[in-house]
Amino acid sequence: MCTAATYRTKDFYFGRTLDYEFSYGDEVTVTPRNYAFTFRHMGTVTSHYAIIGMAYVVADYPLYYDAINEKGLGMAGLNFVGNAVYQQVETGRDNVAQFEFVPWILSQCATVAEAREHLEKMNLVGTPFSEQLPSAQLHWIIADKDGAIVVECMEDGLHVYDDPAGVLTNNPPFPQQMFQLNNYMHLSPRQPENAFSRDLPLQTYSRGMGALGLPGDLSSASRFAKVAFTRLHAVSGESEEESVSQFFHILGSVEQQRGCCEVAEGKYEITIYTSCCNATRGIYYYTTYDNHQITAVDMHREDLDGAKLVHYPLCKSENIYPQN
């Protein structure tokens, strides 16, 4: 399971948690402008926008989980098991395999508006990367500084939704997630007043009671509500340090700790990594389960006119700073 969110101060930020019981060997990966993307049904593209994100690199191909491009557009794929149904290859359409969807959009779209135009012509198909790596059941959030959309491919076709909450988790489908926020419309960061009865001397007995009833479990519906509330009420300064710190705190509200989400006997889902991309500046920040120090990779420190992937293994060991 996973959670993605957007955030804006002076710059635009985009990121996600990746929650799972094991890692494939994720690496921060920069795809320069002249790397040749060979799409299964759409030919080869040799010139495109540069991309940075988290990927599993197989046979020199970046299978991106989440990424931004040099124009400030971000995209992430999150589990949508049981609901995702991909289409059949169709003549006259842009047939894009599920695993190619992130680079297909980020390589050629600078804004959400441009992504919408490409989605109108696109057919999202279930062609697998390989026998060992079948198509994953996902849905996606695509965002820029002006807004976000969610893309879900289901049995009844491809759906594109505006995402005013700036958040995506997993099941149920996005319209249901948004509808369930109605259950929390009474919540507030302010202390509540007694509306129960004038005849009872009820009083607030603790700070934070304005958000009493905000979910705290690890289900996707609860994480959606929790991070939406946290994001929409988050306050920070506009410096890079303050903005990045606040973004990690927003997603930290739904982190998964080992032992709290059992997926099989003795196996637990954890937050393997959390990302925060400054999409305005092209910087990819991340933390991992065992390393809370924020690590950064700046795409503009690489040769973006190159033709070879650049990838960095994750810094996974805790770096404790001795103060005395």
Kindly tell me if the per-residue pLDDT of 40 is higher than 90.
yes
24 or 229: which leads in pLDDT: 229
Per DSSP, 46 falls in state -
| E strand or H helix that includes residue 113 | helix 112-121
Q: Domain 2-193+208-313 belongs to what topology?
A: Penicillin V Acylase; Chain A (3.60.60)
Q: DSSP letter at 87?
A: B
**So which residues are the catalytic ones?**
2
What is the average per-residue pLDDT within 155-163? Answer: 96
Q: Report the candidate in 32, 66, 64, 62 with the shortest Cα–Cα distance to residue 46.
A: 32
pLDDT of residue 140: 98
| Single pTM value for the model | 0.96
Q: Give how far Cα 164 sits from Cα of 143, 161, 277, Å.
A: 11, 9, 19
The pLDDT of residue 220 is 96
